[in-house]
Amino acid sequence: MQVVCLDLEGVLVPEIWIEFSRRTGIPELSRTTRDEPDYDKLMGFRVDLLAKHRLALADIQRVIESMGPLPGAREFLDDLRARYQVFILSDTFYEFADPLMRALGRPTLLCHRLDVDEAGFVRGWRLRMPEQKRAAVQALQGLNFRVIAAGDSYNDTGMLAAADAGFFIHPPEAIAKQFPQFPVTRSYEELRAAIDGAAQALRD
């Protein structure tokens, strides 16, 4: 039986931090895992910037409330969920994700949590576990599922490598060149075809 695991930001929804950077006019907040593969280093950088500019969790949540899925994402996800079990494996936070999950029809999401003080300021983050995307794929395989995965960035490569079939969707060229073992798709139509082809191959 096949299961599909997808990244969230950059795959189904816009990059939250890029949009927040644009709305606040703080260009440094636009750094993502496409730019910095060390997630702890990236999050420390972000938390320091939020503190410097006195930006609270509520400020980020207001931006997220006004965001929506990428064009065609809901239809793509609905089609996949009609034919496969689908898990969203993300390095975002539950404190961010609720409006986006609502807009996507409440798919199953596995992600992390933030530490927020009584005044509503982000003071830290709590990873659900190290390499949680890879671990989730391996756990599903331990339950005798065959896993097909798709993502767009450095922090997805462990998940893609562990999966029975792994694909990029519109990754930056530098990342695609660094990891040529993962086929690149550039649209939901291409990714849907790649997933269906992999599912058929895994059944044969």
The angle formed by the CA atoms of residues 36, 5 and 97, to the nearest 5 degrees, is: 65
Mean local confidence (pLDDT), 144-153 = 97
Determine the pLDDT at residue 32: 87
Last residue of a domain, one of 49, 65, 81: 65
Is residue 21 assigned to a domain?
yes
The Cα–Cα gap between 121 and 129 comes to: 23
How many domains does the chain contain in total?
2
Mean local confidence (pLDDT), 115-142 = 95
Is residue 149 assigned to a domain?
yes
Confidence of residue 124 (pLDDT cuts 50, 70, 90): very high
The Cα–Cα gap between 2 and 92 comes to: 25
Asked if 132 and 169 touch (Cβ cutoff 8 Å), the reply is: no
The residues carrying an active-site annotation are 7, 9
Percent of the chain topping pLDDT 90: 92
Continuous segment of H or E residues that includes residue 157: helix 157-162
Cα-based distances in Å from 100 to 14, 46, 171, 178: 10, 21, 21, 30
SS3 133: helix
- Residue numbers of the domain that contains 160: 2-13+70-113+126-203
CATH code, domain carrying 31: 3.90.1470.10
Determine the pLDDT at residue 36: 83
Determine the pLDDT at residue 33: 81
Determine the pLDDT at residue 34: 81
pLDDT in tens, 56-111: 999 999 999 999 999 999 999 999 999 999 999 999 999 999 999 999 999 999 99
**Do 102 and 168 sit in the same domain of this protein?**
yes
Confidence of residue 37 (pLDDT cuts 50, 70, 90): confident
Evaluate if residue 204 carries a pLDDT over 80.
Answer: no
Averaged pLDDT of the chain: 95
